[in-house]
Amino acid sequence: MRKILIKKKFGRRRKNLTLKIQLEDIRMKIPGSFFEVDLIINKDILIEFQITKNKELKYSVNPMDFSEIEYDLESFLEDNSVFLPKNRFKLVLGRLEVRYLDLAQKQQKLKERELINSGFSEQKEISFAQPIAPVQKVLLLGGEGKTSIYQVIFEGKLPHETKTINHTRGVEKHEITFPSLSSIGSSQQKLILWDFGSKKPPTQADFKNATLLLFVVDANDVNNYELFRNQLHEAISMIKLYGSRPKFLDRSKSNIFCFIHKMDLFTNAGDQFKSLVEYFRLNPKTKEKSYEIKFFATSIFDSTIYIAWAKLIEILMPKSSKLNQLSNKLKEDLGLYAMMIIERSTGLPICSSKTLLDDNSLVGSTNRILLVTDKVLPEYELSSLDSLKIETANGILELRIFKQHYNYVLIMIYPPHERKISTPAGENILQEFIQTMRKSI
C-alpha cells in the first residue's frame, strides 16, 4: 500500500488540515518494455495518469475521462515503438479503468470535504460545480457539416432533413439557453454559437472573449486535409492569444475540441479515426503534437454526435454532485439498473447514477429515440410525448418527460421483474425525487 498525503488550507481560520487516503499501488509494467503506468490523485486533487521508465517520469496528464487515458497510452506506445498485443493492452486498460473509477469516487469525497471545510454548511443544498460566466462564446469552425450538427442537436431535425440546407455564408450566431448548476445557486447559462461558413475565415476580433473552440473536419474531404490542419492549429494559436479560457475550468480539462465528422462513410472507421487524429494532432509549423486537442469521431446518423456534444457541454456546465447522489439513492430505492436526467434542447446530462464512462452514450441513444418518436406521433394525430416504456426480455427502458422552465427527460432502466416502480409507494418515491430535483436545478 502507498500512502498519499494531500495538504491544503481550508476554512476561514486558515487551519492546516491534512486529508489522508490510502491508495493501492497498481503501478504496472508494460509487457515487453521498461515502461510502467499508474494513476494517482495529486496535490491539487486531480486524477493524474503517469508513465514512467526506471522510476523516471516520461509522461503525465490530468485526463478529462478514461477514453483520454486509453488514447494517450496507445499513442505513447506507438511513439516509443512498443508493440503490445490487443489482449494484453485490454488487460492493462481493464486494470486502469477499475483504478480510475475508484479514484474518481475518492476524488469527489475529497472535493466535498474541501468545500465543507472552506466554510459551507453541510445542511445547505449545494452543488460542487464551479461558478461559471452567464455567457459562453463558442467558435464553430472548419469544413462542411457544422450547420447540420447544429440542426440535429438543437432543432430536432432528422439527418436526412439536413441534406437540403444551404451552405453558411459569413457567420451565423445562435443563442442557446440551458440550466446552470453553480456553487452560488441555480441560474440560466447562455451559449452563443458562432457558426462560420467554410469560406469565411475568422478574424482576430472574432476570437476576442471566445471561451471554447470547436473545429469540424469533413473526413470525406480528403483533398482539403492539409488546409483543415493548418486552419485548426492557426485557430488554436488565435484563441490562446485573444480568447478567454473559462476561469472555472480545471487545468486538466481542455477548451479545444475537434470533431472528425462524417465517419459513417468509412468501413474501417476505428482505424481511420486513429490515423486522422495523429495527422491533425501534429502542428505543421512546429512539428510537435498538440495533446490539448480533444478529438471525437462523429456522425449525425448515429449516437456519436450526441456523445461528443455531451462531452463538450460538460466543460461548460459540470454535473451536480448533489443531484448525482440523489440519483444513486433513487436507483437503490426503486431497484433500477440505472437512471439519468437530460435536458432535451441541449442534450445536456443533468445528473445520473451511471459512471462518466457510460452516460454520454445513453444520452445519444435517448435523443435518437425522442427524435424519431416526435416525428411519428403527428402521423397518428397524437400530441407531444409524455412518457414511453419499452419492454424487452432482459430489461425495461422507461422515459418520462416533465416541464419546469426546461424540458427534462427522466431515463430509467430496470429489470423485467421489478415492479416496485409501478406501485403507489414507488410512484411517491419518484415524485419526491422529481420535486427535489426541480428545487435543485
Instruction: Return the higher-pLDDT residue of 134 and 195.
Output: 195
**Contacts of 318 by beta carbon, 8 Å cutoff, 6+ apart:** 129, 130, 181
CB crowding 313-335: b at 16 or more within 10 Å, else e: bbbbbbbbbbbbebbbebbebbe
Give the separation between CA 322 and CA 112, rounded to whole angstroms: 10
Residue 16: what pLDDT?
40
Give the separation between CA 385 and CA 272, rounded to whole angstroms: 39
Longest dimension (CA), the chain: 70
CA nearest 252: which of 74, 18, 8, 49?
49
Give domain limits for the chain. 2-117, 135-316, 321-440
Q: With beta carbons less than 8 A apart as the criterion, state whether 340 and 358 touch.
A: no
29 has which bridge partners?
36
Residue 139: what pLDDT?
92
- For the stretch 174-188, pLDDT in tens is 887 765 544 334 456
CA nearest 440: which of 129, 196, 140?
129
Instruction: Return the higher-pLDDT residue of 196 and 311.
Output: 196
Give the separation between CA 400 and CA 415, rounded to whole angstroms: 17
Overall average pLDDT of the 3-16 stretch: 41
Cα distances (Å, whole numbers) of residue 341 to 280, 338, 431, 441: 35, 11, 14, 11
Q: With beta carbons less than 8 A apart as the criterion, state whether 125 and 322 touch.
A: yes
Q: Does an H or E element contain 191, and which?
A: strand 185-196
- Cell numbers placing 113: 470535504
- For the stretch 116-172, pLDDT in tens is 565 443 334 333 334 445 578 899 999 888 888 888 877 777 777 777 777 777 788
Give the separation between CA 60 and CA 50, rounded to whole angstroms: 4
Q: Three-class SS string for 50-62? A: EEEECCEEEEEEC
CA nearest 320: which of 146, 127, 118, 71?
127
Give the separation between CA 109 and CA 151, rounded to whole angstroms: 39
Q: Per mean pLDDT, which range of 123-137, 326-340, 408-422, 426-440 is the poorest?
A: 123-137
Q: Does an H or E element contain 315, and which?
A: helix 304-316
> pTM of this prediction?
0.63
Under DSSP, is residue 325 helix (H, G, I), strand (E, B) or coil?
A: helix
Residue 222: what pLDDT?
93
Give the separation between CA 254 and CA 294, rounded to whole angstroms: 7
Give the separation between CA 319 and CA 211, rounded to whole angstroms: 19
Q: Is 13 left (phi over 0), alpha (psi -120 to 50) or beta?
A: alpha
pLDDT above 70: percentage of residues in the chain? 76
- What is the distance of C-alpha 174 from the center of its chain? 21
The torsion angles phi and psi of 311, rounded to 5 degrees, stand at -65, -40
Q: Which position has the grid cell 451511471?
A: 354
- Cell numbers placing 247: 476561469
Cα distances (Å, whole numbers) of residue 251 to 64, 109, 118, 213: 10, 20, 21, 16
Residue 226: what pLDDT?
95
Q: Which position has the grid cell 470533431?
A: 259
What's 321-440's CATH class? alpha beta
- Cell numbers placing 215: 473545429
Amino acid of residue 169? R
- For the stretch 361-401, pLDDT in tens is 566 677 777 767 877 888 887 877 788 889 998 889 988 88
Q: Which CATH architecture has domain 135-316?
A: 3-Layer(aba) Sandwich (3.40)
Give the separation between CA 252 and CA 254, rounded to whole angstroms: 7
